[in-house]
Amino acid sequence: MIELPSKHAISKAFGRKASKYNTHALIQTVLLETLCAKILRHIPLKGKWLDAGCGTGLLWEKFRSIKAGCGEQIGDPLRYFGMDISAEPLLLMSVKKPGPVFQGDIEILPVKRNAFDLAVIASVLQWSMNTSSIFYSLRKVLKPDGLLAYSIFIEGSFRELHETRIEAGLTVPVHLENARTYIQCMNDAGFKISKNDSYEFVDYKKSASEVLYNIASFGGTATAGKLMNRTELRKFCDLYESKHRTSKGIPLTYKAIQGIAYCSGPGKHND
């Protein structure tokens, strides 16, 4: 059963671990690098961009690093805005001086309509049951010719962890759809996909406790419902290893889709 943590719990979890996110969120970093490359290859660096769920500003760092490697700087005519549900990551991002940063909810963006040329969402949709609402919200704040760059974890991600949680009588704390459903939600909201790629990674650790430690180190362990005590956690790790151990180690699977979409209309239920 899926039982998402509250928005307050998600905010607190990522806030506590904000300083460690860039070090431990390795798969997210790889996905941000490929997304950054897509954006730079297909979208001119101009106008107003919104990084919705920006965290510590890792995507901004990737933009700046790639451009610096080409002997270029990011600046006018680009204005880069960062928004996140958690305040602590925004403090870290603000030091990098990308542009304005503000706290907000991606389901109800605190932004005027038709304000941005590009919106970016990366590794955030799994924390919401309201996928359609998020895409409609993003569509509203984009200009009629605006673009959406996305990186979305899909069904099959975290498979080993979720199977173990279910067998242990625990709920699954994230919501994942298949790729077709996410694409349909974007279409319904008034987007048309111009570029979409699929990715799959398997991250191997020496033990299940190391898998859990790595996730906890970047704030990804926000849960709802029952929390495990030390004895239960040890039994959980034993179960995880007995079910999923391989010759390469203890796996955790990540699956994602990533691409660029453009605004093609007001959406089926636009208000």
pLDDT level of residue 7 (50, 70, 90 thresholds): confident
- In the chain, % of residues over pLDDT 70: 89
* Residue 217: per-residue pLDDT: 60
* Residue 256: per-residue pLDDT: 96
Residue 271 lies in a domain: no
Using DSSP, state whether 199 is helix, strand or coil: strand
CATH code, domain carrying 159? 3.40.50.150
The 10s digit of each residue's pLDDT in 207-240 is 999 999 888 765 455 555 667 899 999 999 999 9
* Residue 36: per-residue pLDDT: 92
Residue partners of 174: CB distance under 8 A and separation at least 6: 2, 4, 126, 127, 153, 158
Residue 109 lies in a domain: yes
Strands 191-205 and 142-153 turn out to be unpaired
Q: What integer best gives the mean pLDDT of the chain?
A: 88
pLDDT level of residue 25 (50, 70, 90 thresholds): confident
Query: Which one, of 154, 149, 179, 145, lies nearest residue 38 by Cα?
Result: 149
Residue 154 lies in a domain: yes
Residue 142 lies in a domain: yes
The parent domain of residue 171 ranges over 7-263
CA 1/CA 166 separation, integer angstroms: 8
- Residues 139-157 have a mean pLDDT of 96
Residue 269 lies in a domain: no
pLDDT level of residue 70 (50, 70, 90 thresholds): low
The 10s digit of each residue's pLDDT in 85-135 is 999 989 988 887 778 999 999 998 989 999 999 999 999 999 899 999 999
Total domain count, the chain: 1
